[in-house]
Amino acid sequence: MTTAELDAQIAALRKAGRYAEAANLCLQVGDHARASELYAAIWDWPAAIRVAEEAGLLADAYRHALAAGDREAIGRLLQRLPDRPEQALQAAKEAERRGRLGEAARLHESCGAVAEAAALYERAGELFEAARCCEADGRYRDAGRLYERSLAEDPKDGEAALRLGRILAHFGRYEPAARALQSAARDPERERSALTLLVACFHALRMNEAAAACLERLRRQEPSLPASLAEFLKEHFDDAQGLAGLTEGDDGRLAGRYRVVKTLGAGATGKVLLARDGFYERDVAIKVLSVGGGTQGRDAYVRFAREARIAANLDHPNVVRVFEFNPAGPFLVMEYMAGGTLEERLEDGPPPLALVRHVARSTLLGLEAVHRRGVIHRDLKPANIFFGAAGDVKLGDFGVAHLLDLGTTLTGAMMGTLAYMAPEQMTGASRPDATTDLYAFGCILYRLLSGSLPFPGPDFVTQHLEQTPPPVSARRAELGERFDALLRRLLAKAPTDRPTSVEEVRLALDAIDWGDPMDVPLETTEGPRDTTEGRTLAQRASTRPPAARYRPLEGDGDQGVAMDTLLGRRVLLEPCDEARAAWLRRLARADGPHLQAVLDLDLEAGRCVLELPLGEPLSERTRTDEERDRARAQVLEAVERLHAAGVTHGDIGPHSVLLGPGRAVLLLPRSATGATVDEDLAAVRRL
């Protein structure tokens, strides 16, 4: 049937009032968008929503859900839309048109459009949220005014008072800052942060007795804090003069706030600094742009601003977090990854296979999150893969990232590093897409496994365009041929010959027998099996060399916190018998970024190895409503994974949820509790 014939048949059915038949005809030929609209025309909202959502037309599904007043569908779609930025913006326009300004603001914010979100929040009367977005946009004076208005409506809002106090202190207005911080200190959850900054504000006002009184309040809670005012200020603000020291002179401080500790690296367009944020008491990495004027300088600034916009909009445990973009600097403030880069770790040759798998899987998870936001990285290389202090691996540096939904040209297509650059990037023959990043990942994986690049140079362009690298098995015989087929596809010259998605590569890697007992997936109640020898994990454990991979840090050696010397991360060792192993295997089937991971079962040693997530219990952490809502959504995702695996949790509460950098993590229950699915879901709602 031609398109014209199809259109005529659908028109005839519509004219006869047979809309449902017309919709079904559209579905048969794959025209889900028109089918959804036909169902909507006869007010069959459930069908209209279902068809649009199943086809990935989330903005259309959201529009139909609003028309139907379907709260459940609206809530579900608001959670899914942030993964589709272009559709989220369409949905935001529909929400604004219908007067749902708060939802429109949240959708804009999820796309990184914080300025638009701030304006919508203010129109909706959500002044705190508007102020928070202004603060994220670097508009501190506007944020301060909005926090003041928010406090006028709710004087007991400790979080607004704390944020206002920080902003006022940032501009040297210590007296009004002190008033705001005194209000914040009445909130038990904000007391410590408020008192810390109050000490500095009173000191800057030369009110040393008041500063000493605040310090004494802090020391009653934490006796280990310095008793001397100067020592306390030096410890928390890196200067014995406190805030006065932060705002005087030009001794390496940025924006009167960030004390530069050292230079971490430098390149043609900027440098990266390790600095101490005196206001938030944390180490940060600051990327500073330093280019000349003219067209080149403007282009560099545009790329830098794009990196800030992209990275600030990504919140994933395998993506480096961005705290602030200062356009006047210009500089970007990011979380400090204390473990350095993958490039540094590769200098000593190929790492153990367990570390290779950890790095590869973490990189793919981060890249998957990036691609879901419509972003192609375009500069994937070991220098842009970072390690945290706990051995976590994160993807960073989006300075040449390409937004799929901006329709930009191939100007700057040669950006990136030649050793990892796909052929189409070098020639500009086609627009970069997901396969472009996967080619670079193939180069990284090849180097991780063999210790050398697939194309060693120096003529990288000719090699990438014309030559075929030797199989990785030829470079490192003990690997066998298990990685050769996947690498051959990843390094294919034509994008159409490569895997089409990150998920496809991740599943292919999971299917490979890595030959390391620490990496065997926990899948069956009989115990994980070696696919080549058919042995259970317990049987394989008995053949392990007695190497002390786990170095005790707390506990008696077989239990407690230990250092995983292979991956450089802290883990939790707990007793484990056959019964608990069977329970943990069931939990491991629900593995996800927001559920504590089961890393290993060693039945011979009678122990299990669990992830030790970074963070503080939800009940102890200073938090905003936004933080709580985000944590609740992430915990719900973990609980739904458990339920899909056929198990329930039964012990969900603030004590079992850790809020850490970029994510909430639900701790595993010790044993089966007999809880029902409804009881789990009710516990999540109470968080």
Q: Which residues form the catalytic set?
A: 379
Is 536 strand, coil or helix? strand
Measured distance CA(374)–CA(403) in Å, rounded: 6
* CA dist list (Å): 468 to 137, 464, 465: 47, 8, 9
Is 434 strand, coil or helix? helix
DSSP per-residue letters across 1-66: --HHHHHHHHHHHHHTT-HHHHHHHHHHTT-HHHHHHHHHHTT-HHHHHHHHHHTT-HHHHHHHHH
Question: Does residue 174 contact residue 186 with C-beta atoms inside 8 Å?
Answer: no
Longest dimension (CA), the chain: 87
* CA dist list (Å): 148 to 162, 167, 177, 179, 509: 11, 11, 11, 12, 53
Helix axes 85-97, 58-68, angle to 10 degrees: 20
Is 410 strand, coil or helix? coil
Measured distance CA(401)–CA(311) in Å, rounded: 10
Measured distance CA(47)–CA(52) in Å, rounded: 8
- 206 contacts: CB under 8 Å, gap ≥ 6: none
* CA dist list (Å): 276 to 224, 239, 334: 21, 11, 11
Measured distance CA(311)–CA(370) in Å, rounded: 9
Question: Does residue 593 contact residue 663 with C-beta atoms inside 8 Å?
Answer: yes
- Per-residue three-class SS string for 280-335: CCEEEEEEEECCCCHHHHHHHHHHHHHHHHHHHCCCCCCECCEEEEECCCCEEEEE
